[in-house]
Each structure stands twice: as structure tokens, then as C-alpha cells.
Amino acid sequence: MVFSTLTADRERGFLDGQFLIAMPGMADSNFHRTVIYVCAHSPAGAMGFIINRSQPVSFADVLQHLKLIDRQDAIMLPERARDFPIQCGGPVESGRGFVLHSDDYLSDSSIPVSDDISLTATLDIVRAISAGRGPRRATMMLGYAGWGAGQLEAEIAGNGWLNCPASEDLIFDRGLDSKYERALARMGVSPAMLSMDAGHA
């Protein structure tokens, strides 16, 4: 899986830093009306995070699960930490947390995804956020979306996805319910314009 090769010195693929927007004919219900931010794309496969699906857990729940705080400590968290967004990043390893964040926070384990956005999947960033010392913009993703070699390219060719350059504002925007329409609007497309079937010349 490409996730294991997601390193700071990797060569970026042509879909790195792109949005994938699910087409209406998307067969996999895991990805119905999703917008995915691609973090790594190579001949080995691809990985990314759904950016418009909520998760029914709070940051305090995550901290308690990791045994970083107890229930009584939860009310003492800084307001920004109490309100820190947790989202469903995808169906793969859904119990594992990843933090997508602005590049003003870096640790030894942070991996640059684009010129402005990094990914950190270690406890140091969770501790920093809980103490109010985290990055300016960030969201935690539980799980990720992954594709094997050639799989994503085949899905794009089969009219499963549209792709376009990502927007940092849209990645970190808290209005999840309207992200699908807004991502399409960046391409000048409305949902009503999308066909359920692949178009072939």
C-alpha cells in the first residue's frame, strides 16, 4: 500500500494535492458524494482523506481513548481543543487517527503533502493541540481512503471521479454538508450537470 511509502522525500505523483469528487455513478457507497484530498499517488497506489464526512466522536473522546486525559480533565481543555474537528477520513484503518494541518506545525514525523499542508500521525501533534499549541489550521481524520496499483486511474477512466486542484480553505472548512457542491462549483460544474454514465466519444 502506498501509505507505507508516504515519506517526506518521496516523489510527488500527478494527483498529489488534488481533490477527487465522486461522480453520481460511483458504485462504492463508502464514497457516495464524497470529496477526497489526495495525499499520495504513485505507481504503487494512492491514499487520501474524505473531507466532507462527519464523525460522531469529539476530540475529548479521542484523548480519553488514548489515555492522555481522563473524563474530569476534558472540561479543562482549551476551547479550541474542545471544538477541534474530527472527521471520517475513509474506510481503511478507521480506528487510526491522522491530522491534516497547515505547515506552521512540524515535528520529526510530519510529512509535507503540498507546499502548504502537512500530515502528522503521531501523538506529539495530539498533545500539542490539547495544550493549545497546535497548528493554525487542522482537522483529525479517522481512517483513510486507499487504492492499489492502477486502481484509482481505472476508476477515473471509468467516470468514477472528477479531479481538480485542492483548496486549503475547502479542506479545513467546517461546513461539511455543502463541500460537495462547493468543490464542483470550483470546476464550474453543478450536480445537475453530472451524468450517471460514462461518456465515450
Given a cut of 70, whether residue 62 has pLDDT beyond it is yes
Does residue 105 sit within a domain? yes
Does residue 122 sit within a domain? yes
Given a cut of 60, whether residue 198 has pLDDT beyond it is no
Segment 154-169 shows an average pLDDT of 92
Query: Are 16 and 113 in contact, with CB atoms under 8 Å apart?
Result: yes
- What's the distance, CA 93 to chain centroid? 13
Does residue 52 sit within a domain? yes
- Quick one: pLDDT at residue 11? 62
Does residue 195 sit within a domain? no
Query: Residue 23's pLDDT band (boundaries 50, 70, 90)?
Result: very high
Q: Provide the number of structural domains found in the chain.
A: 1
Does residue 145 sit within a domain? yes
DSSP secondary structure, 115-182, as one string: SSEEEE-SHHHHHHHHTT-S-SSEEEEEEEEEE-TTHHHHHHHTTSEEEEE--HHHHH-S-GGGHHHH
Residue whose grid cell is 451524468: 195
> What CA–CA distance (Å, rounded) separates 161 from 175?
22
Does residue 199 sit within a domain? no
pTM of the model: 0.86
- Quick one: pLDDT at residue 65? 84
- Quick one: pLDDT at residue 178? 94
Instruction: Residue 107: give its domain's CATH number.
Output: 3.40.1740.10
Query: Mean pLDDT in the chain?
Result: 85
> What CA–CA distance (Å, rounded) separates 147 from 36?
12
Residue whose grid cell is 467516470: 159
Residue 10 lies in domain: 2-189
Question: What is the signed CA dihedral for 181, 183, 186, 188, rounded to 10 degrees?
Answer: -50
Q: Which three cell numbers stand for residue 44?
A: 504503487
Does residue 83 sit within a domain? yes
Does residue 76 sit within a domain? yes
Query: Residue 199's pLDDT band (boundaries 50, 70, 90)?
Result: very low
Listed in sequence order, the residues at least 6 apart from 131 whose beta carbon sits closer than 8 Å to its beta carbon are: 78, 81
